[in-house]
Chain A
Amino acid sequence: MSSLWGDTPLRGRVLAALLLAAFLAAPLIADRYLISVLILVLYFAYVGQAWNLLMGFAGQLSLGHALYLGIGAYVAAALWIHFGVGPWLGVLAAIPIAALGGAFIGWLGWRFSIEGVYFALLTIAFAEFTRIGFDHWDFTGASAGFFLPIGGVAAAQWWNLGGGPLLFYYVALALATGAAALTARLRRSALGYRWLAVREDAEAARALGINIFRARMAAMLISSSMTAVAGVFYAFYYRNLFPAQVFDIGRSIELILAPIIGGLGTVFGPIVGALILTPLGEVLIAVTERLGLDAPGAKAVFYGLALMVIIWLRPNGVWPWLAGVLGIRSKDR
């Protein structure tokens, strides 16, 4: 446990435990709507953590994480629909396929010194042409969509990831908690230190004997694998997949907002960001409806304004500031 907590002060550990307890107990009082919002919070906390490992720790900007999400979703869905292989096994196929995609992009980018925004463009390009490919691939329903059967036998089979909201809630909670624990552990590992070194100054990192290609590749493999798991969850939760939605750049952007708002390169940032953004989106929907502002995009405008205000007030993210206020500033935030 010591490697997990590091030098996090006692108050921080208690707060983390309380937060987890609150999430565990939430279904006792939350209604169906609130549970669906909390599932989204946990989903974004999880994928945000996955993306944060690559960007926040290893310093590599990916704007195409929808690629790994989509690969995970489609691989698991295709195995289920065409071969009757359930998602708990399907995820074992989804992970290596998505990781292979990530490894190829990483290899292409870092072997040929495609850095910074150019690397980000590369990630967008791969997500985009994978979307186009899936739009034309009849095996997975092409652009007409790929549907997982609802109801009937599949309805209450937890072993096939079929069931009510509570099942998905607790699966998402386990994913988000596991991702946070993994990140905390990696942060204090030799690999975590190498990531920080490469992020801060790649040339200086090399002079200390760090193989920057290998360090970045490790981050990419872990990040894309984790995102593929979120894709499997996505497929079985929503039960319908459209390439234009799953691989969309909007999908890539929405999953990077929580870690940016919460605090890049911090363990709690993605969780705090997801806890702010998802409810904010829901509140804005309710408010704009109440006010009768049903003009298309009204919600998006307010959402965008809210993001700007948060980033203006807390340019390093909410968590580093919040941790200071709560008196739980550990040396590495």
Chain B
Amino acid sequence: MTPLLAIEGVSKRFRGLRAVDRVSCEILPGQIFAVIGPNGAGKTTLFNMVAGVLRPDEGTVTFAGERIDGRRPDEIARRGIGRTFQNVRPFPALSVEDNVVIGALLHAKGMEEALETAHQVIWQLDLFAKLRQPAAALALPDRKRLELARALATRPKLLLLDEVMAGLRPTETDQMVALLRELNRTTGMTILLIEHVMRAVMALASRVLVLHHGAAIAEGTPEEVVRDPAVIESYLGAEAL
């Protein structure tokens, strides 16, 4: 199967510091792929190179057969990659409905279609009761779901999630995991997530890439990765798996 997203030998330096060092991986259509690693491992830098926020110093990022490295974030979104932000960023003064409508406008032919798509996604993510509330008035779990709704409304082929579990309580994390599994199962949406919360990664991902000091030190199923000696030593060991 040809990969939906192929990252090949991608590097990024910040003033001599190698934030990401020749990382490669392939994400197949329909897969849930996780990138894990301790703080400062280069996860977010890698993420930002896929999302178009940063341009890689070397290497290529190919999405659906087309090179996207160095393209602007809006061009990448247009090609079918949706994302969330680590520190959630819904449009604070706008209502839940307006937030999601803006996402839906990317591919909708008119306002009516955008509204229809938005309502569908809001319903799916159980935010309908808060349709007219401003985003700023929502609690964190709802803001995270709203941001997910907004990204889903763009009808992405690949969904990038940047620490979507961070700050959630265990029960809220379980709900988010269930929601993402359901999305992946029913729509076949490919998901690339960057995660710190191991519990979520184990439950969700079918494949895991481990970064340490910017380099890939292991890749495999969650079970393989947690048994990998290099991973245990560099990352998991310290956190007492």
The smallest beta-carbon distance between B145 and chain A, in angstroms, is: 15
Partner of A207, one of B83, B94, B108, B110: B83
How distant is the Cα of A204 from the Cα of B77 in the complex, in angstroms? 11
Instruction: List which A165-210 residues lie within 8 A (CB) of chain B.
Output: 188-190, 193-194, 196-197, 200-201, 203-210
CB pair B102–A193 under 8 Å, yes or no, is yes
The answer to the question of A82 belonging to the interface, with a C-beta cut-off of 8 Å to chain B, is no
Check B105–A190 contact: CB distance below 8 A.
yes
Q: A193-B98, A194-B102 are in contact. Are A209 and B77 (CB under 8 A)?
A: yes
Q: Which residues of chain A have C-beta atoms less than 8 A from B94's C-beta?
A: 196-197, 200
A211 within 8 A of B: yes
On whether A212 and B74 interact (CB within 8 A), knowing A193-B101, A204-B85, the answer reads yes
* Contact present for B73 and A193 (CB under 8 Å): no
Closest chain-A Cβ to B136's Cβ sits at a distance in Å of 10
State the CA gap A209–B73 with chains docked (Å): 7
Q: Using a Cβ–Cβ cut-off of 8 Å, how many residues does chain A contribute to the interface with B?
A: 22
Residue from the list A193, A205, A209 in contact with B78, Cβ < 8 A? A209
Contact present for A206 and B77 (CB under 8 Å): yes
- When distances are taken between beta carbons in the complex, the residues of chain B under 8 Å from A197 are 91, 94, 102
Q: Which residues of chain B come closer than 8 Å to A207, judged between CB atoms? A: 51, 73-74, 77, 82-83, 85, 151
Q: Separation in Å of the B210 CB from the closest CB of chain A?
A: 26
Give the docked Cα–Cα distance between A201 and B94 (Å). Answer: 11
> Chain A residues with Cβ under 8 A from B179's Cβ?
none
Q: Is the interface of A mostly helix, strand, loop or mixed?
A: helix
Q: Are A332 and B85 in contact (CB under 8 A)?
A: no
Q: Does A331 make an interface contact (CB < 8 A)?
A: yes
**B77 x A208 contact (CB < 8 A):** yes
Within 8 A of A (CB), among B64-94: 72-74, 77-78, 82-83, 85, 89-94
**How far does the alpha carbon of A204 sit from the alpha carbon of B114 in the complex, in Å?**
18
- CB-CB < 8 A to B85: which residues of A? 203-204, 207
Q: How far is the CB of A313 from chain B (nearest CB, A)?
A: 21
Q: How far is the CB of A1 from chain B (nearest CB, A)?
A: 15
Q: Are B74 and A331 in contact (CB under 8 A)?
A: no
Candidates B74, B132, B150; contact of A211 at CB < 8 Å? B74
Quick one: which of A142-170 are within 8 Å of B by CB? none
Closest to A192 in B: B111
Decide: B102 and A196 in contact? CB cutoff 8 A. yes
Chain B residues near A (Cβ < 8 Å): 51, 53, 72-74, 77-78, 82-83, 85, 89-95, 97-98, 101-103, 105-106, 108, 110-111, 114, 132, 150-151, 154
Q: Beyond the given A208-B151, A331-B97, A331-B98, could you list 16 further A-B residue pairs with CB under 8 A, ordered by the A residue number?
A: A190-B114, A193-B98, A193-B102, A194-B102, A197-B91, A197-B102, A201-B89, A204-B85, A204-B90, A204-B91, A205-B102, A206-B74, A209-B74, A209-B154, A210-B102, A331-B132
